């Protein structure tokens, strides 16, 4: 079983750079960071999965340059570097799993997501109104029900209708992010197919990367859940290497003809103006 | 023995939950018959008395209603209950409540046939029995609830006939499928699609293929009147033409714009459908906040299913292949395609258009819960039980306490109370004017022309022969129109106005009654020109 050569990865990175610069009109820092991140993500994933070297794979890998998440430019260019920093940590962790590195990796993801989501502005300006527990609507309704729920004594109402509801709001907020539209916007509709197949493998066949990626997923989900201004690109940008890994995991089982058909359809949607 | 104990216990729990959640206080929760419910109830009353609907159509196959052209089955099913129980909320809702409750049973039987495991069947019934959206849908005269019953019944009978090799049930299954199409419009598209899927997937298992085709022929013959009516009265396609996604203002604007190329327009349509499909399959909508029992931003709003079931649904997607084996493909197809019809329609996510989806979601969730129950330790089962109790508690207080108070206006609350006020005083007035507007600054327009005749048992001929007014209609001694206080008011006239339209102080009318919402806020005022 041979692993793929570097050339398709270079093509995908180059394609990604072209799209970033000429189609998404991103600045050079974000464009370079994105294309480098894509190349590194594919390299990391393929070295962990050891995909068979087939003609289709050589064709498939460059197509990953079309993944819209890698065409995203954060509000501040510097935030693009978080993605590269994460990938450097991933490379180090894959070579040697170390608890100290793992904690640092978790911290980078945590801080990176805080800045990307806008919950914290440079340098340490916490945006309290953007947190779900500061939602005026939620707090108003908690108070309204506390006064309104005459079926139980007032003291009990304070427990039943309390800030604990924010756990529910957190989950609702988080799962709202993972709808088909959002995933299609960030991954491209065609990649759903290998993504869902890969997701099945992700939870059944555990590798070193799986565990590390789980830390990234949980941290990102936590930040996304507490953010009132949740958005698919800014909230999931740092998970881009994980998505690439999962898509490549599912690649082995895809029907190639079917994939190519939906890829062409997806491409039309991608280049068409948005509704 | 342990299994039997569990089984019997679960059976009792399911039966109890189904009956309690669906029948308790049925007349008053939802707090009032809705716009669509009163239309169904009134048409049932009108057909019962005159064989004609409110628009004077003889035994229609498509009820015009408020230009929504309702599928006929629910109205015809309501006739016996209105005949037996009178013009009440209970009578209007009872047929749907009965079929909704039976859906819980039939779904369990279907899952038993699909899996060969009766405990799994019971689990799916249990899930549906406490599913918030099905509880609400079973407590209202919802066309889609009845359609769901006949659809699930059709599936059950079809799979049963395959498993037991009893051809007779294949024929019955097609009759049930045909009835589902008489019950709601979503099934016009979805039921034939599923019949094709069943044919493709189970063709090899059909021992008697002739019976399948005989059933199909009966199905076509049964639905033929529906389609002949559809073709003869193209107005009944109003719903198909006005409610389809192509009429979405943003989309329509882009489609009409000549600067976009054909492929771009196709892409727009695809994007619109994808967005709709995405909103119907959004986990947050299904398990956390899709059930509009409370105002939009209320965090206590439940999902269509209890949130506790989300992990089991996800686990169920993964385990369906192991549990349902040869039938897994059918379940996956059902799960993926059930929101498609609703996704082709206009407007925000509609519970009734997508009610069909609750069947596959329940089936898949049952698989996840079943596996969890088999492999997990007692402590995890206890944790699940605690979370389920919390979810049920919150749903119960929201549904049985807050919802009737917070959402009464949305159900046009007040017209039943107005009718009850008018009924004993009917002879005292020469004219009764009802302003159909309601809500804050009169932004909504109600249908008192149906509520008042229904609750006061007015002769349906009078409404059938109503006259059109400039801004409303009149029948018998009623005038249903917007009322402005600068008009001359005749002697012995009763005027019902929304709270946002009170008379000015100079106007000499006597206040006689206030209709308040369940939260005690006033909704309507009743005035009279009579002195006493």
Tell me, yes or no, if B309 comes closer than 8 A to chain A by beta carbon: no
Q: Which residues, 6 or more positions from B419, have their beta carbon under 8 angstroms from its beta carbon?
A: B451, B452, B454, B455, B456
How many angstroms separate the CA of residue A266 from the nearest CA in chain B?
A: 9
Look at residue A206 and tell me whether its pLDDT is greater than 80: no
Reading the block at residue A74, the tokens are: 């954060």
Task: Return the residue in B250, B299, B368, B403 with the most chain A beta carbons within 10 A, the one to mutate for interface testing.
Answer: B299
Q: Give me B352's structure tokens.
A: 């009734």
Of the residues B250, B257, B263, B267, the best mutation for testing chain A's interface (the one with the most A CB atoms within 10 Å of its CB) is: B267
Which ranges in A99-237 belong to alpha helices (H)? 99-117, 136-148, 154-160, 165-177, 180-187, 192-204, 208-226, 232-236
d(CA B363, CA B122): 11
Determine whether the interchain pair A272/B298 forms a contact, defined as Cβ–Cβ distance below 8 Å: no
Do B300 and A141 count as a contact with CB atoms less than 8 A apart?
yes
- Categorize the per-residue pLDDT at A221 as very low, low, confident or very high, splitting at 50, 70 and 90: very high
Residues in chain B predicted with pLDDT less than 50, given as ranges, are 1
Q: What is the pTM of this model?
A: 0.92
- Tell me how far apart the alpha carbons of residues B320 and B293 are, in angstroms, rounded to a whole number: 31
Lowest mean pLDDT among A93-97, A108-112, B80-84, B139-143: A93-97
A201: left (phi > 0), else alpha (psi -120 to 50), else beta? alpha
Residue A114 predicted with pLDDT over 60: yes
Q: Quote the pLDDT of residue A46.
A: 85
In the prediction, which pLDDT does B390 show?
A: 96
DSSP β-bridge partners for residue B494: B432, B528
Q: Does B287 touch chain A (CB under 8 A)?
A: yes
Per-residue pLDDT, B240:
60
Rounded CA-CA distance B415/B185 in Å is: 28
**Three-state DSSP class for residue B467:** strand
Q: At a CB cut-off of 8 Å and minimum separation 6, what does A260 contact? A: none
Mean pLDDT of A192-219: 86
Closest CA to B49 of B363, B463, B505, B527: B463
Which residues of chain A are within 8 Å of residue B520 when distances are taken between CB atoms? none
> Quick one: pLDDT band at residue A1, thresholds 50, 70, 90?
very low
Residue B164 neighbours by CB under 8 Å, 6+ apart:
none
| Through-space distance between the first and last CA atoms of chain A, rounded to whole angstroms | 45
* Residue B218: predicted pLDDT: 96
Contact B299 A200 (CB under 8 A): no
Residues of A with CB under 8 A from a CB of B: 135, 137-138, 140-142, 145, 148-149, 151, 160-161, 165-166, 168-169, 171-176, 178-182, 184, 189, 200, 203, 265, 268-269, 272-275
Contact assessment for residue B281 and residue B339, using Cβ atoms and an 8 Å cutoff: yes
Q: What is the pLDDT of residue B235?
A: 58
Residue whose structure tokens are 């599928």: B71
Q: Which of A16-30, A178-192, B47-61 has the highest mean pLDDT?
A: B47-61
Residue B465 CA to residue B484 CA, distance in Å, equals: 25
Grade residue A78 by pLDDT with cuts at 50, 70 and 90.
confident
d(CA A173, CA A171): 5
What are the C-alpha distances in Å from A36 to residues A32, A84, B254, B297, B451? 6, 8, 37, 42, 67
Q: How many helices (H) and strands (E) does chain B have?
A: 23, 9
Distance CA B28, CA A143 (A): 26
Look at the block and give the residue holding tokens 């041979």. Answer: A2
- Collect all residues with Cβ–Cβ distance below 8 Å to A235 and sequence separation of at least 6: A113, A116, A117, A177, A220, A223, A224, A227
- Tokens found for residue B30: 């939802």
Q: What is the ipTM of this complex?
A: 0.90
Q: What is the DSSP letter of B58?
A: B
DSSP B193-228: HHHHHHHHHHTTT-S-HHHHHHHHHHHHHHHHHHHH
Residue B348 burial (CB count, 10 A): 7
Alpha-carbon distance of B235 to B496, in angstroms, equals: 33
């Amino acid at each position: 079983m041979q692993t793929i050569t570097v050339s398709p990865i270079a093509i995908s990175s180059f394609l990604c750079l072209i799209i970033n610069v000429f189609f998404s009109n991103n600045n050079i820092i974000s464009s370079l960071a994105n294309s480098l991140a894509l190349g590194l993500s594919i390299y990391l994933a393929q070295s962990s999965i050891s995909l068979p070297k087939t003609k289709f794979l050589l064709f498939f890998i460059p197509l990953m340059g079309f993944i819209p998440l890698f065409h995203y430019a954060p509000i501040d260019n510097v935030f693009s570097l978080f993605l590269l920093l994460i990938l450097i940590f991933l490379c180090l962790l894959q070579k040697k799993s170390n608890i100290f590195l793992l904690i640092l990796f978790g911290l980078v993801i945590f801080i990176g997501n805080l800045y990307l989501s806008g919950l914290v502005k440079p340098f340490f300006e916490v945006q309290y109104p953007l947190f779900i527990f500061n939602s005026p609507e939620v707090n108003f309704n908690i108070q309204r029900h506390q006064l309104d729920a005459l079926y139980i004594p007032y003291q009990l109402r304070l427990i039943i209708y309390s800030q604990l509801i924010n756990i529910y709001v957190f989950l609702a907020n988080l799962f709202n992010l993972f709808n088909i539209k959002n995933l299609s916007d960030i991954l491209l509709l065609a990649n759903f197919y290998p993504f869902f197949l890969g997701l099945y493998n992700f939870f059944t066949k555990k590798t070193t990367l799986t565990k590390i990626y789980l830390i990234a997923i949980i941290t990102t989900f936590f930040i996304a859940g507490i953010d009132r201004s949740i958005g698919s690109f800014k909230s999931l940008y740092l998970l881009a290497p994980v998505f690439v890994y999962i898509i490549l995991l599912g690649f082995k089982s895809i029907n190639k003809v079917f994939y190519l058909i939906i890829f062409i359809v997806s491409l039309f949607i991608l280049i068409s103006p948005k509704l | 023995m342990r299994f039997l104990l569990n089984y019997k216990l679960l059976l009792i729990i399911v039966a109890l939950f189904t009956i309690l959640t669906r029948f308790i206080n049925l007349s008053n929760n939802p707090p009032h018959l809705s716009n669509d419910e009163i239309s169904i109830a009134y048409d049932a009353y009108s057909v019962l008395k005159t064989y004609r609907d409110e628009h004077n159509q003889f035994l229609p196959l498509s009820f015009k209603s408020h230009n929504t052209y309702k599928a006929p089955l629910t109205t015809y099913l309501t006739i016996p209950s209105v005949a037996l129980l009178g013009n009440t909320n209970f009578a209007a809702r009872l047929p749907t409540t009965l079929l909704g409750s039976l859906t819980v049973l039939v779904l369990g039987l279907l899952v038993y046939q699909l899996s060969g495991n009766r405990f799994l069947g019971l689990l799916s019934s249990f899930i549906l029995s406490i599913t918030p959206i099905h509880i609400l849908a079973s407590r209202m005269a919802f066309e889609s609830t009845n359609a769901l019953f006949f659809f699930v019944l059709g599936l059950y009978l079809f799979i049963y006939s395959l498993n037991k090799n009893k051809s007779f049930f294949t024929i019955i299954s097609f009759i049930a499928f045909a009835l589902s199409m008489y019950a709601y419009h979503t099934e016009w598209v979805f039921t034939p699609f599923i019949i094709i899927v069943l044919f493709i997937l189970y063709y090899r298992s059909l021992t008697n293929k002739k019976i399948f085709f005989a059933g199909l022929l009966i199905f076509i013959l049964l639905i033929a009147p529906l389609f002949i009516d559809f073709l003869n009265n193209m107005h009944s396609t109003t719903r198909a033409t006005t409610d389809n996604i192509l009429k979405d203002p943003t989309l329509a604007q882009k489609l009409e714009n000549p600067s976009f190329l054909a492929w771009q327009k196709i892409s727009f349509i695809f994007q619109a459908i994808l967005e709709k499909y995405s909103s119907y399959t959004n986990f947050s909508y299904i398990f956390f906040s899709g059930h509009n029992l409370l105002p939009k931003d209320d965090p206590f709003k439940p999902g269509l299913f209890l949130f506790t079931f989300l992990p089991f649904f996800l686990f169920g997607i993964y385990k369906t292949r192991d549990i349902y084996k040869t039938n897994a493909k059918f379940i996956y197809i059902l799960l993926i395609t059930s929101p498609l019809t609703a996704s082709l329609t206009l407007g925000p996510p509609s519970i009734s258009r997508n009610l069909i989806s609750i069947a596959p979601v329940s089936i898949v969730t049952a698989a996840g819960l079943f596996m969890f129950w088999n492999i997990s330790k007692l402590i995890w089962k206890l944790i699940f039980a605690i979370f389920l109790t919390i979810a049920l508690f919150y749903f119960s207080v929201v549904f049985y306490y807050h919802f009737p108070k917070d959402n009464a206006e949305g159900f046009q609350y007040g017209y039943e109370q107005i009718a009850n006020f008018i009924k004993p005083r009917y002879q005292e007035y020469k004219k009764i004017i009802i302003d159909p507007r309601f809500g804050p600054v009169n932004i909504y327009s109600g249908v008192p022309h149906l509520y008042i005749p229904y609750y006061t048992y007015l002769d349906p001929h009078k409404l059938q022969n109503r006259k059109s007014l400039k801004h409303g209609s009149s029948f018998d001694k009623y005038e249903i129109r917007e009322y402005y206080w600068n008009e001359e008011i005749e002697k012995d006239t009763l005027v019902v106005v929304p709270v946002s339209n009170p008379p000015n102080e100079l106007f000499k009318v006597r206040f006689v009654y206030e209709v308040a919402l369940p939260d005690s806020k006033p909704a309507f005022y009743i005035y009279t020109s009579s002195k006493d």
